[in-house]
Structure 1
């Protein structure tokens, strides 16, 4: 019966003498020849990216890797303080915090842009953007990718990613619409908000043709590296216990 079972995969298989990945010999064709970012793209997209696509994709990963003492970093450090024998637990704790306020914006923005483009009429991108922002406000929904808790004027990552996409000829409809939203939203919201880095990452990844349903995964992939760095620094220069004691010693009971 076991000989009749088949579980098709286009990813990895192995036997006693070799490992195959993406139809390539892992040891002979990939190791030392393919970078990790290129491989991650290839695994999800099912196609090998061009050099320009790799450059933009890896710029996105760098942009999302770490942003200081965010809740995800603090969660990882505190978990490591509590369970230093569980590195995987500390990493997981940080990754589990990737949601609508941190990291998840990458997917939320890509999905929002893709949805708007799918139903858009005409080619006036500013008009399309204006209608999208107006509709979102009427429905009392946030426009993903607008605003940042720290970068109130401009997120320094945004213009760099747009420039790289332009240089590599990958500046597509999602980035174009995202920039248009940046131009027109003050007409609707009566205030100017920056286009944040997580949002532009979502737009760039969507322009790379990656599935919008998978974009949060790339944000988590990037942040895993940042969290590992946070934990490594916690070992060298611990602060998690100070965070814990600051909160604990200043807790006040209120009925």
Structure 2
């Protein structure tokens, strides 16, 4: 008798000759037309169906991160499409690959940072604003003493305040999803000037990371949710590039203005 291969268990999608199941539901009958995409994305990642309040906060995060204009991720998507118009998937992938520590990665960095602080905190977490402020002061002081930045603090454009931050916090309060990560992040916003000697805004990517962590989403996937949001934005960038192309002008602005210079001497060749 031939040994049968070991089974590969999954609670996600599976198909038979007559049906497709997803998360234990009939895809065609119970999911399509019944479950929104944001709700489904949360459900797929956690295998827990979210509450309406969780869905609203989650989708607010996706909206906040979808598009920020001509960022490097958008530019490289447009330039890749210019170079390979037959490869929409390549253009989208090029933009998503640029989601790192400066763009999009801040969402994951902030959520993980706040979670680490909360995990290290001895005893019960604060119940009042004063307690959160005390913890925030300790946190910012420790970061400064070690020469490290506080993730989610500061923005290169929104110097007077990122409009996404206050709005997402409002939504989280309305839906009773304002948990310890957002509480600590808000306290950092209130107290950091006492340590740094200047006032910096809490940026949108950071507040999104705090909100996602409060939704109890897997921390190693927080950047994935930022990329999910940015995929929609990059599709929009491609659609606009097809209608009103600018990628060739971007390319020519560099190509026609390059300036030849002598090569930098290799460090090993210096006297």
Please list the CA deviations of residues 72-94 of structure 1 after superposition, one character each: whole Å capped at 9, or x if unmatched: 00010000000000000000000
Q: How far apart in 1 are the matches of 2:115 and 2:53? A: 22
Aligned to 2:143: 136
Return 5+ residue gaps in structure 2 as ranges.
Answer: 263-271
Shift of 1:56: 0.5
TM-score for the superposition, normalised by structure 2: 0.92
Shift of 1:4: 4.0
Shift of 1:16: 0.8
Aligned to 2:24: 23
Q: How far apart in 2 are the matches of 1:136 and 1:148? A: 18
Say what the alpha-carbon RMSD is for the aligned residues: 1.0
Secondary structure of 1:13 counterpart:
strand
Q: How far apart in 2 are the matches of 1:127 and 1:231? A: 47
Please list the CA deviations of residues 107-135 of structure 1 after superposition, one character each: whole Å capped at 9, or x if unmatched: 00000000000111362211111111111
TM-score for the superposition, normalised by structure 1: 0.98
Q: How far apart in 2 are the matches of 1:56 and 1:72? A: 25
Aligned to 1:107: 108
1:176 aligned to 2:183? yes
1:233-248 paired onto structure 2 within 5 Å: 233-248=240-255
Shift of 1:212: 1.1
Shift of 1:2: 6.4
Shift of 1:101: 0.7
Secondary structure of 2:205 counterpart:
helix
Please list the CA deviations of residues 157-183 of structure 1 after superposition, one character each: whole Å capped at 9, or x if unmatched: 001100000000110000000000001
Shift of 1:254: 2.0
Aligned to 2:266: none
Aligned to 1:62: 63
Structure of higher CA gyration radius: 2
Q: How far apart in 1 are the matches of 2:158 and 2:198? A: 15
